[in-house]
């Protein structure tokens, strides 16, 4: 029996992986402009980290984590998201002590969640995310959203919608929480089992329920905006005015709560409005998580970040018909005919590559015609033809494929000739 890939995973093959590389490089380039530095954390962490940070009432912790016990009887979990690991590293490595603050980080890497696979949603998926820790300035909230929008826009997406909300500070959230409990409790038996469990532990999550989204109590649920204290209201107004000054459009959705327990104040999602994109329109999301560092043993540290799925980003590009400017061609394909020429070919190829040229040759002992066809398939700009006679005379024939012009070049000069032509 042959082996097959596990459900919810994918092989990213040549021809497709170049799109991933382009997108990842664009994200890195934009992070550099915004002065965010890359961080690389372990793919697995102690399970307790995610229980404390993501929240034991979330779907991720209750249903979706890949958790195992190692040989030392330690409970470990494949990371389901990136923020907890980044904040853990920030605390453990005392990045809060660096002279330049806030600490601005980004990551690109695989995450793992056991959920039902569908278009753009896998059990192993890749997230690009950023975290800005150490500042409670509302303008950095706007900066984080601006960076996310820049990634999408500079890759060519146009059908975007930034959705914004505030969850308020601790005082505002408590007042809202009490109002939600009073609102849902008399009829909580009409809701799903998850919502019934959330009523006392985290009633805000009821608003995020997919099963009961059409229940009439959802439409009349108390809004966080009615319970914001003055500090929370002023904070949100500054975030909005900063985005407006940047020229970034947004819409307010009072029901947007995000699915993780650590969010407070600003919460946002970026949606795709492209036709045919699918029922799940969210491309990315994030928000502020003041208090998370303290939760895992660090000093009081405000923070904000976002994470975007690269799978969903690539789906959105396809939905809008965006073609990435990926060059898939060789600079030179070397055709060698005759035993002496074939013996010489590897050293010529090595010199071409050392000079920075993308070059290749035949390794299947094909005839000349078949080698030229192989050169065509690689979109080679030049084909260099070396036979035993040319080798004896110290020359090589170089053909420019686009024009068809063919020139005989001194063998020792072929690298410099192609470099000059390119």
Range from 95-104, 120-129, 226-235, 255-264 carrying the lowest mean pLDDT: 255-264
131 is in an annotated binding site: yes
Name every residue whose Cβ is closer than 8 Å to that of residue 2 and which is 6 or more positions away in sequence: none
Give the pLDDT confidence score for residue 180 in this predicted structure. 87
Fold exhibited by the domain 332-421 = Rossmann fold (3.40.50)
Q: Which of the 8 DSSP states describes residue 322?
A: P
* The overall pTM is greater than 0.85: yes
Q: Hey, what's the torsion of the CAs at 338, 342, 347, 353, to 10 degrees?
A: 110
Q: Is the alpha carbon torsion for 53, 202, 220, 231 positive or negative?
A: negative
**pLDDT at residue 261 in the model:** 61
60 or 336: which leads in pLDDT? 336
Closest CA to 58 of 206, 173, 256, 168: 206
Closest CA to 50 of 302, 305, 209, 42: 42
pLDDT over 90 (residue 56)? no
Would you give the DSSP letter of residue 394? T
Answer yes or no: is 24 a known binding residue. no
Asked if 397 and 408 count as a contact pair (C-beta separation under 8 A), the reply is yes
CA-based radius of gyration for the chain? 28
Task: Round to whole Å and give the CA distance between 342 and 17.
Answer: 32
In this predicted model, what pLDDT tens digit does every residue of 127-179 receive, in sequence order? 999 999 999 999 999 999 999 999 999 999 999 999 999 999 988 888 988 88
Q: What share of the chain is helix, strand, coil (3-state, %, to 5)?
A: 40, 20, 35
Instruction: Give the DSSP H/E element, type plus range, for residue 217.
Output: helix 216-219
> Is 21 known as a binding-site position?
no
CA 190 from centre of chain: 38
At a CB cut-off of 8 Å and minimum separation 6, what does 162 contact?
145, 149, 243, 248, 249, 250, 251, 268, 269, 270, 271
Task: Give the model's confidence band at 55: pLDDT under 50 very low, under 70 low, under 90 confident, else very high.
Answer: confident
Reported as a pLDDT band with limits 50, 70 and 90, residue 211 is confident
Q: Is 113 annotated as a binding residue?
A: yes
**Alpha-helical segments (H) within 267-413:** 292-295, 310-319, 339-354, 368-377, 388-393
Q: Which of 163, 162, 158, 153 shows the shortest CA–CA distance to 274?
A: 158
Are the CB atoms for 183 and 221 separated by under 8 Å?
Answer: yes
Residue 181 has what DSSP assignment?
H
Q: For residue 46, what are the β-bridge partners? A: 76
Regarding predicted confidence, which is higher, 73 or 213?
Answer: 73
Q: Report d(CA 404, CA 199) in Å as an integer.
A: 74
Domain boundaries for CATH 3.40.50.800 within the chain: 332-421
pLDDT level of residue 269 (50, 70, 90 thresholds):
very high
pLDDT value of position 54: 81
Q: pLDDT grade, residue 254 (50/70/90)?
A: confident
Q: Half-sphere exposure (CA, 13 Å, Cβ side) for 400? A: 11
Residues 6+ apart with CB under 8 A from 68: 75, 76, 77
The pLDDT > 70 percentage for the chain reads 97
Instruction: Find out if CATH 1.20.140.10 is the number for domain 17-169+229-319.
Output: no
Dist. CA 376–CA 323, nearest whole Å: 22
Cα distances from 398 to residues 191, 405, 407, in angstroms, run 74, 8, 5
Strands 264-272 and 160-166: antiparallel
Of the listed ranges 84-98, 148-162, 217-231, 345-359, the least confidently predicted one is: 217-231
- Any idea which residue has 């998580």 for tokens? 289
Q: Yes or no: say if 354 and 302 are a contact pair by the CB < 8 Å rule.
A: no
Which residue in 420, 333, 319 sits closest to 382, CA to CA? 333
Instruction: Give SS3 for 150.
Output: helix
End-to-end CA distance of the chain: 50
**pLDDT at residue number 57:** 62
Q: Quick one: pLDDT band at residue 260, thresholds 50, 70, 90?
A: low
pLDDT at residue 382, rounded to an integer: 98
> Where does CATH 3.30.930.10 sit in the chain?
17-169+229-319
**Which pLDDT band holds residue 279 (cuts at 50, 70, 90)?**
low
Share of the chain above pLDDT 90, in %: 77
The enclosing H or E element of 56 equals none
Query: Is 9 known as a binding-site position?
Result: no
For 176, the token pair is 């809202």
What pLDDT score was predicted for residue 259?
A: 57
Q: What does the pLDDT look like over 61-119, one tens digit per residue?
A: 878 999 999 999 999 999 999 999 999 999 999 999 999 999 999 999 999 999 888 88
Model confidence band, residue 403 (pLDDT cutoffs 50, 70, 90): very high
**CB-based contacts of 352: which residues, under 8 Å, 6+ apart?**
331, 332, 334, 359, 414, 415, 418
68 membership: H or E segment, kind and range: strand 67-69
The Cα 169–Cα 180 span in angstroms is: 16
* Cβ count within 10 A of residue 12: 14
């Amino acid at each position: 029996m042959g082996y097959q890939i596990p459900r919810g995973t994918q092989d990213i093959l040549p021809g497709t992986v170049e799109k991933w590389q382009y997108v990842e490089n664009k994200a890195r380039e934009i992070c550099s402009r915004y002065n965010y530095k890359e961080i690389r954390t372990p793919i697995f962490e102690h399970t307790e980290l995610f229980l404390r940070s993501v929240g034991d009432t979330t779907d991720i912790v209750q249903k979706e984590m890949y958790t195992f016990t190692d040989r030392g009887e330690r409970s470990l979990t494949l990371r389901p998201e990136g923020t907890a690991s980044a904040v853990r590293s920030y605390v453990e490595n005392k990045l809060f002590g660096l002279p330049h603050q806030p600490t601005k980080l980004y990551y690109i890497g695989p995450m793992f969640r056991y959920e039902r696979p569908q278009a753009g949603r896998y059990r192993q998926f890749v997230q690009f995310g950023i975290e800005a820790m150490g500042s409670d300035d509302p303008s950095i909230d706007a900066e984080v959203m601006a960076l996310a929008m820049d990634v999408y826009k500079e890759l060519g997406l146009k059908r975007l919608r930034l959705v914004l909300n505030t969850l308020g500070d601790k005082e505002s959230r408590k007042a809202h929480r009490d109002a939600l409990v009073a609102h849902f409790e008399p009829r909580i038996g009409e809701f799903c089992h998850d919502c019934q469990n959330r009523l006392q532990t985290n009633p805000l999550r009821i608003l995020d329920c997919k099963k009961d989204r059409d229940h009439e109590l959802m439409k009349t649920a108390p809004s966080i905006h009615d319970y914001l204290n003055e500090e929370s209201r002023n904070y949100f107004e500054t975030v909005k005015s900063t985005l407006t000054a940047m020229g970034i459009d947004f819409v307010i959705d009072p029901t947007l709560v995000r699915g993780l327990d650590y969010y407070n104040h600003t919460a946002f999602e970026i949606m795709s409005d492209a036709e045919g994109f699918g029922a799940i329109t969210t491309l990315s999301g994030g928000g502020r998580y003041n208090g998370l560092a303290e939760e895992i043993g660090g000093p009081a540290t405000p923070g904000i970040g976002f994470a975007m799925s690269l799978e969903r980003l690539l789906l959105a590009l396809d939905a809008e018909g965006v073609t990435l400017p990926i060059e898939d061609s060789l600079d030179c394909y070397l055709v060698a005919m005759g035993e002496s020429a074939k013996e010489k070919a590897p050293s010529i190829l090595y010199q071409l590559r050392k000079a920075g040229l993308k070059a290749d040759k035949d390794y299947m002992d094909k005839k000349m015609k078949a080698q030229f066809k192989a050169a065509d398939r690689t979109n080679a700009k030049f084909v260099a033809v070396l036979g035993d006679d040319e080798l004896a005379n110290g020359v090589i024939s170089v053909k420019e494929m686009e024009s068809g012009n063919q020139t005989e070049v001194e063998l020792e000069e072929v690298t410099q000739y192609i470099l000059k032509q390119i």
